[in-house]
Amino acid sequence: MTEPQYYQKLKTIVSPYLPDDVSVDEIGMDSHFLKELNINSANLVDIVLDVEDEFDIVLENEDMEAMQTVRDAMVIIERKRSS
Amino acid sequence: METSEIILRLPYGKPFVFVDSLEQAGEEGVTGHYIFRKQSVVYQGHFKKKAVIPGVLLTECCAQIGLVCLGIFLTAKEEAPETAFALSSAEMEYLIPVMPGEQVKVRSEKIYFRFGKLKCKVWMWNAEDKLVCKGVLAGMQLKQGYE
């Protein structure tokens, strides 16, 4: 899977969890899920669970903690898929 | 963990405890009971002409028995067990009213407990075994002491 494909898939996963005042267009590679996209920690758990289903991977607590931005998520997904 | 131990670990105090006893607690869910006391002053204003238990309190009862008691059971093995969970979402349907003095039974079924978030289905029945309300509740494990 190419980088733009990962990015597109992540955007699709994240968008339903965005608060009303943040639009999909505001999602960038370096967007911080909690601080910039204003996603709360409860919804971030659901995003991580959706990522697991979409990419068929299992994430651990440390992955969850490391997944702060869209780019972080892409790096972690890529690593899990290739291991 | 014994069900009586779970009750002792609940972070709530009067007048906001909505758990009397637990019938069963396990990895997949919890069953418990509560009687909405006739003497509670809350019902005097809900409604002014006829007392009915407010939906928010039915939800609270479902959350305390179904979500928090289950959370206490599930985290009992952790090094620093957590007794408090902050409700993060609630989607409920209310089917029939509950009057002061009625006893209810609540059952929960775990959907998942991952990364500190516990999500479960809940059901509440009255003493006649009729479904009172049902829904899906989720809460986040709190890391500071709320006991």
Count of beta carbons in the 10 Å neighbourhood of residue A8:
12
Q: In what helix (H) or strand (E) does residue B22 lie, and over which residues does it extend?
A: strand B21-25
- Which residues of chain B does A49 touch, with a Cβ-Cβ cutoff of 8 Å? 112, 114
Q: Tell me the per-residue pLDDT of A54-68, one tens digit each, with 9 for 90 and over.
A: 999 999 999 999 999
Average pLDDT per 10 consecutive residues for chain A, totaling 83 residues = 89 96 94 95 96 96 94 94 87
At B60, list the tokens. Answer: 């609270």
ipTM score of the complex?
A: 0.91
pLDDT tens column, B90-127 = 999 999 999 999 999 999 999 999 999 999 999 999 99
Closest C-alpha among B57, B108, B55, B141 to residue A41? B141
pTM for the model stands at 0.93
Report, at the CATH architecture level, how domain B3-141 is classified.
Roll (3.10)
Q: Write the Ramachandran bin of B86: left for phi over 0, alpha for psi from -120 to 50, otherwise beta.
A: beta
Residue type, B137: L
Domains of chain A with CATH codes? 3-82 (1.10.1200.10)
Residue B61's pLDDT is what?
Answer: 98
Residue A32 has what DSSP assignment? B
Which chain A residues have any C-beta within 8 angstroms of a chain B C-beta?
Answer: 40-42, 45-46, 48-49, 61, 64
For residue B147, the model assigns a pLDDT of 47
